[in-house]
C-alpha cells in the first residue's frame, strides 16, 4: 500500500484528470469569473483612481465567487454514479483524499487567478509597482486559503439539499480574514508598499492558511463518513 504522500499525489492527479475531462465546466467557471469582474468594473466607479484602488478587492471577490461554483462541483460530481462510495472503499486515508482534492482546487483556482489577472489589468487599468514575485506570493496565499475550507464544505454540502445556498452561506463568513489581508496586500503590491506592510499581511494570510489546512484535514474524515 502506498504511503500518505503517494495517496495525496494519486488523488491530486485524479482530480486534475477529472477537471481536464470536464473542461467545459471549468471553462464555464473561468468565464463566470470574467463576467463578475466586468460587473464590478461597471457597477463600481466607471474609471479613475477609485476603481484602481478597489481593483484588488474586486479581483479577490471575483475569484471567491467563481470558487463557490468550483467547490459546488468538486464533490457533487462524485455523488454521480456512486463514485464517492467507491472511492471511500479504496484503502485511502480520508485526510489524503482531502489534501489531494484541496491541492487540485488550489491549482485550478491558481489557473483562474492567472486568467483574471490580465482581465483586471485591462478593465481596472492597474500596473505593478512591487516585484512580480510578490504578486505571485500574495495570490498564492489567497488561493491556498480559499481551497481548504471550500473543499471541506464541498464535501459537507454535496448531498445536502439547496447546496447552492448552504455552501456559500457557510463558506463566505470564514473568508473575511483572507479577503481583508489579501486585498490589503494586493493593493499595496499594485500601488506601492512604502511602509513595508506586505510581509505582515502575508504572515496573517499564512496563519489563516495553516490553521484551515490543518483543521479541515482533521475534520474531513468525519464529514465523508456521513456522505
Partner 1 sequence: MIGKLRRYGVGVVGFVGLAVAHYFGLFVAPGEAMMGDVGRILYIHPQTAQASMICFLAAFVCAVGSLWTGKSGWDDAMASFAEVGVLLGVLLLAQGCLWAKPTWGVYWVWSPRLITSAVMVLSFAGVLILRRLVEDPARRATWSAVAAIISAADVPIVWFSVKWWRDQHQMQSDVAKDFAQTFAWVAHTSWFAVMLLTGWLVWLRYRLARVERAHLETAADLPARAAPLNLDGGGEG
Q: Could you tell me the smallest distance in angstroms from the CB atom of residue 152 to partner 1?
A: 7
Distance in Å, CB of 195 to partner 1, minimum:
8
Decide whether 30 or 217 has the Cβ nearer to partner 1.
Answer: 217
Q: Could you tell me the smallest distance in angstroms from the CB atom of residue 93 to partner 1?
A: 17
Number of neighbours of residue 175 by Cβ within 10 angstroms: 20
Residue 18 to residue 184: CA distance in whole angstroms: 35
Length of the chain, in residues: 227
Instruction: Give every CB contact of residue 220 below 8 A, 6+ residues apart in sequence.
Output: 94, 95, 97, 98, 151, 152, 155
Q: Which is nearer to partner 1, 40 or 201 (CB)?
A: 201
User: What proportions of the chain, in percent to the nearest 5, are helix, strand and coil?
Assistant: 85, 0, 15
- Of 19 and 148, which has the nearer Cβ to partner 1? 148
Phi and psi angles of residue 19, each rounded to the nearest 5 degrees, phi first:
-65, -40
Shortest distance (Å) from residue 158 CB to partner 1: 11
What residues make contact with partner 1 under the rule CB under 8 A?
Answer: 149, 152-153, 156-157, 160-162, 165-166, 169-170, 172-174, 176-177, 180-181, 184, 197, 200-201, 204, 207-208, 211-212, 215-216, 219, 222-223, 225-226
Instruction: Choose between 32 and 172: whose C-beta lies nearer to partner 1.
Output: 172
Distance between CA 143 and CA 206 in Å, rounded? 11
Q: Are 152 and 122 in contact (CB under 8 A)?
A: no
Of 126 and 158, nearer to partner 1 (C-beta) is 158
Residue 42 C-beta: closest distance to partner 1, Å: 26
Amino acid at each position: 500500500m502506498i504511503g500518505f504522500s503517494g495517496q495525496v499525489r494519486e488523488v491530486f492527479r485524479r482530480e486534475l484528470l477529472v477537471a481536464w475531462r470536464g473542461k467545459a465546466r471549468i471553462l464555464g467557471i473561468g468565464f463566470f469569473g470574467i463576467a463578475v469582474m466586468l460587473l464590478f468594473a461597471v457597477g463600481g466607479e466607471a474609471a479613475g483612481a477609485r476603481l484602481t484602488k478597489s481593483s484588488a478587492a474586486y479581483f479577490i471577490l471575483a475569484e471567491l465567487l467563481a470558487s463557490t461554483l468550483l467547490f459546488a462541483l468538486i464533490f457533487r460530481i462524485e455523488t454521480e454514479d456512486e463514485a464517492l462510495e467507491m472511492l471511500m472503499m479504496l484503502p485511502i486515508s480520508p485526510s489524503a483524499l482531502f489534501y489531494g482534492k484541496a491541492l487540485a482546487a488550489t491549482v485550478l483556482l491558481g489557473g483562474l487567478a492567472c486568467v483574471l489577472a490580465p482581465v483586471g489589468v485591462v478593465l481596472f487599468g492597474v500596473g505593478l509597482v512591487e516585484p512580480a514575485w510578490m504578486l505571485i506570493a500574495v495570490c498564492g496565499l489567497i488561493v491556498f486559503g480559499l481551497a481548504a475550507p471550500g473543499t471541506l464544505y464541498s464535501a459537507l454540502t454535496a448531498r445536502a439539499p439547496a447546496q447552492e445556498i448552504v455552501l456559500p452561506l457557510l463558506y463566505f463568513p470564514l473568508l473575511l480574514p483572507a479577503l481583508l489581508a489579501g486585498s490589503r496586500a494586493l493593493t499595496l503590491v499594485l500601488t506601492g508598499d512604502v511602509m513595508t506592510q506586505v510581509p505582515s499581511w502575508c504572515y496573517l494570510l499564512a496563519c489563516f492558511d495553516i490553521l484551515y489546512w490543518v483543521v479541515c484535514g482533521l475534520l474531513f474524515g468525519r464529514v465523508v463518513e456521513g456522505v
